[in-house]
Amino acid sequence: MKALTEQVALVTGASSGIGEATAKKLASAGVKVGIAARRADRLHALKAEIEQQGGQAVVLEMDVADKASVERGVKKLIDAYGRIDIAFNNAGLMPLSNIDEFKTDEWDRMVDVNIKGVLNLSAAVLPQMIKQHSGHIVNTSSVAGRKVYGQGFAVYSATKFAVSAFTEGLRMEVGQKHNIRVTSIQPGATATELSQHTTSEEFSQMMAGFSSQVQFLSPSDIADTVLFAVSAPEHVNIAELFVMPTNQV
Ligand code: NDP
């Protein structure tokens, strides 16, 4: 396995939260990072920050729900650095609501970004990883991809169960055959912009109350776990990392 300083990563959802923290952590470990999201201004600011610390980054303006956009981003990264060693499938959204509010556009968006986005990026990076006979795909599932979280979480949990299932199936298919590692990261409550997508007043209030009861993880806590998984020796595939705030049930 190449040293981290010779590796190239693509991080989706790099414009905020877990993705941003992970891009910074990988870059400070010497990994060249492709930073992907839709908000290009944020990505340019992040690139400047990474470069100021001595790292290397390429901005990939990308909508993970759009296959052509994903393919363009992957091509740009390969054109820049010649390979892809790590793909962090992390972009996601969590607009909570009751099913009987019928916010079906939000359900569609979660399916498009949380599930199809993961499939789109996996399909776009795997040919390069197969050619290299090495690579590591890390997918952000959730505690809500292990247990159904209850009221408001039905569709979000369904998308994260899909991510968990796909991740394990992918691991079985590409590990032995192509020497590609696959990891599912399953965070509990983490202090990011995620709850801001919620348009339902009831669940906005619930999330605000929750954050006063639980000491949320920081995005950098999750970035540490990604770095741990990708730093393992090549014959070790950390298949799952379930990371919870100590005082979250
Ligand atoms: P943030 O809202 O801070 O980050 C979400 C990121 O996803 C943003 O960078 C956003 O960028 C990006 N994104 C959203 N839609 C798209 C899209 N269509 N195309 C490309 N990028 C997109 O939240 P988190 O950092 O918390 O979320 C990261 C992941 O962690 C998600 O998958 C989330 O489900 C998961 N997670 C979060 C937990 C938490 O408590 N925070 C717990 C468990 C899992 P932009 O808008 O610029 O496109």
What is the C-alpha to C-alpha distance for residues 176 and 241, in angstroms, rounded to an integer?
21
Q: Which two tokens stand for residue 42?
A: 């944020």
Best of 163, 190, 198, 213 for a ligand 1 pocket test (most atoms within 8 Å of beta carbon): 190
CA–CA distance, 119 with 189 (Å, rounded to integer) = 24
The pLDDT > 70 percentage for the chain reads 100
Could you identify the atom of ligand 1 that is nearest to the CA of residue 112?
18
Q: What average pLDDT does the segment 89-97 reach?
A: 97
Judge contact between 56 and 32, C-beta under 8 A: yes
- The DSSP string of 127-190 is HHHHHHT-EEEEEE--GGGTS---TT-HHHHHHHHHHHHHHHHHHHHHHHHH-EEEEEEEE-SB
Whether 140 contacts 92, CB under 8 Å: yes
Question: 128 — phi, psi (to 5°)?
Answer: -65, -45
What domains does the chain contain, in order, with CATH numbers? 8-243 (3.40.50.720)
Mean local confidence (pLDDT), 109-119: 98
Query: Taking the complete model, does pTM exceed 0.85, yes or no?
Result: yes
Tokens (6 digits) for 60: 């990939």
Q: What is the whole-number distance in angstroms between the Cα of residue 93 and the centre of ligand 1?
A: 5
- DSSP-H helix ranges across the chain: 17-28, 40-52, 67-81, 104-110, 117-132, 154-178, 201-213, 219-231
For residue 177, report the distance from its CA to the centre of ligand 1, in Å.
31
Ligand 1 atom nearest to 196, measured from its CA = 2
The answer to whether the beta carbons of residues 18 and 192 sit under 8 Å apart is yes
Could you tell me what percent of the chain has a pLDDT over 90?
98
Q: How many angstroms does the Cα of residue 114 sit away from the middle of ligand 1? A: 9
Summarize pLDDT for 15-26 with one digit per residue, the tens.
999 999 999 999
Residue 1 confidence (pLDDT): 84
pLDDT one-digit tens code per residue, 19-64? 999 999 999 999 999 999 999 999 999 999 999 999 999 999 999 9
**Separation CA 231–CA 7 (nearest Å):** 11
Q: Rounded to whole angstroms, how far apart are CA atoms 199 and 105? A: 12
Ligand 1 site residues (CB inside 6 A) read 12-19, 37-39, 62-65, 90-94, 113, 140, 142, 187, 189-190, 192-194, 219
Band of residue 83 on the pLDDT scale cut at 50, 70, 90: very high
Instruction: State the burial class of residue 150 (Cβ atoms within 10 Å of its Cβ: 0-12, 13-18, 19+).
Output: exposed
Residue 215 has pLDDT above 90, yes or no: yes
Which residue CA neighbors atom 17 of ligand 1 most closely?
63
pLDDT of 75 reads 98
- At residue 149 the predicted structure's pLDDT band, cuts being 50, 70 and 90, is confident
Which residues are annotated as catalytic?
156
Query: What are the tens digits of pLDDT across the range 195-214?
Result: 998 999 999 999 989 989 99
100: its two tokens: 């009987």
User: What is the tens place of the pLDDT at every residue in 151-180?
Assistant: 999 999 999 999 999 999 999 999 999 999
